[in-house]
Chain A
């Protein structure tokens, strides 16, 4: 049976490993440590953990101040509140000063579930990737989240936004799978079309591959864990190699992964592109599975997008 876990748990484990290795790591939370899983770090390193209460703006300011005393400050909270309520603090202090603050933003996307629309961050990739100096990482499973947090916090200087989920999802990568910041990971080779996915949608993309294989469509899959800085080469290469792209994300179609890919291919290598994601709407209460069905974040929706893009690809008359 496939192991199930959430990316927030992977992050919590990564922070404990990091805390053991590097004494400069401090972790902050805004009264959500049991949910964000920073409680694991808090139990092990209580003197290096600061719970600032329900105050995301102050959370970011204190993290900034700690980083200015040569600490690696990891500030954690719900993605909707850290990316929204504290956007000015992140933009004007953390990013403008290029401070060594890492943001662990959990409960991203619609799969937060029953808590409903006020708690479902569907705009955070857009909000974060538009800020200069900010880097954005969306792990596809708990293992990748653990590796990403462990490696990036030490290796990548300046602000990084980790987008993490609440739901337990199947493990896709293995202990031996390399995680390289800024490099997309090819999970499946194919020649007809490339699915570029991040987060929970990577698993859905792999399911879609199986369905499409039956129809004789050969699909390449890229796990695009680093949204910013984007692996441009991987996108251009995929566009050249397969001639059509589909993006899949648990985020608004505006400004997210699909937006980023379209910005790049429009300039570098225009090919037909279809995007799977939230279509300019808010979410609602329900189970993660029900919501993914309702909002079209499924392998089935990806397969439909693939068929559509294949038709468009065929219509292009070679010069």
Chain B
């Protein structure tokens, strides 16, 4: 796909997110919208995967550590062909394979692991990357985390281990939108200096504008070239990106739009 096509896809995914949340009446728009370009780049350009054979052994692995942002993941999976787009509208409903936070027990194609309890995904990704290396295979492992999630101590246990084992097949992406549930990160629990933290933990670190498709793609390419270290991509993003009244507003972390708000959002997202 060309950059233009990927950008168009991101727009479509944002519309999906709005419509899914309108239907479900609850969910997390803010972090889904801030990570849309990253997710689109992964599912429509970077990942070696096969939606028709989700368990393909040679597939790259994607671990969504910030499980609450599953609307963007579900939308990407559906648009990539893992399951029907109609199923997106079962989000959070009784009996659905699209749980409020991803549940592997539901066997939704493309979901590698349950998530929702923050701070755990990077450890799982480290285990994936170690297992792949043990089998002398070349798949890559990607893990998307929130910036508020970096408050969790386990993230840094995993960061230490990834560098220790020289997991150059591992790439962590931090959706650095600067907001957590109770407010700005700098007020609730400051995580800066972020780049220096990852560097000092022994990671190769890249900083990008997480909404610039070219920068996102370049970052993933740089990560692939790294021979000795895992790569952390710090993606500077805007929470609620693309919908004016949601952008940088803490209140839109975990709230669904009503009909009027959704109409306004879709109008803004018309391509």
Contacts and interface: CB of A to CB of B under 8 A. Distances in A.
Interface of A: 26, 47-48, 50, 52-53, 55, 57-58, 60-71, 73, 88-89, 92-93, 96-98
Given A55-B161, A92-B120, A65 B134 contact: no
Interface of B: 61, 103-105, 112-117, 119-120, 122-132, 134-135, 153-154, 157-158, 160-161, 165
A60 B130 contact: no
B105 A52 contact: no
A175 to B, nearest CB: 33
Which applies to chain B's interface (DSSP): helix, strand, loop or mixed?
helix
A311 B60 CA distance: 66
Contact of B161 (A53, A66, A92): A53
A25 to B, nearest CB: 11
A88 B130 CA distance: 22
22 contacts: A50-B165, A55-B160, A55-B161, A57-B120, A58-B158, A62-B161, A64-B124, A65-B131, A66-B127, A67-B127, A68-B124, A69-B128, A69-B135, A88-B120, A92-B116, A93-B114, A93-B120, A97-B104, A97-B113, A97-B114, A98-B104, A98-B105
Given A66-B127, A66-B130, A68-B113, A61 B104 contact: no
B11 to A, nearest CB: 33
Contacts of B119: 57
Contacts of B103: 96
Contacts of B165: 50
Given A65-B123, A65-B124, A97-B114, A58 B134 contact: no
A63 B127 contact: yes
Contact of B128 (A68, A89, A93): A68
Contact of A57 (B127, B134, B154): B154
A71 B137 CA distance: 14
A80 B193 CA distance: 35
B126 A92 contact: no
Contacts of A92: 114, 116-117, 120
Given A92-B114, A96-B105, A97-B104, A61 B130 contact: no
Given A47-B134, A69-B128, A73-B127, 17 more contacts: A53-B160, A57-B153, A57-B154, A58-B126, A58-B158, A60-B123, A61-B120, A61-B124, A62-B124, A64-B127, A65-B129, A66-B128, A68-B112, A93-B113, A96-B105, A97-B104, A97-B113
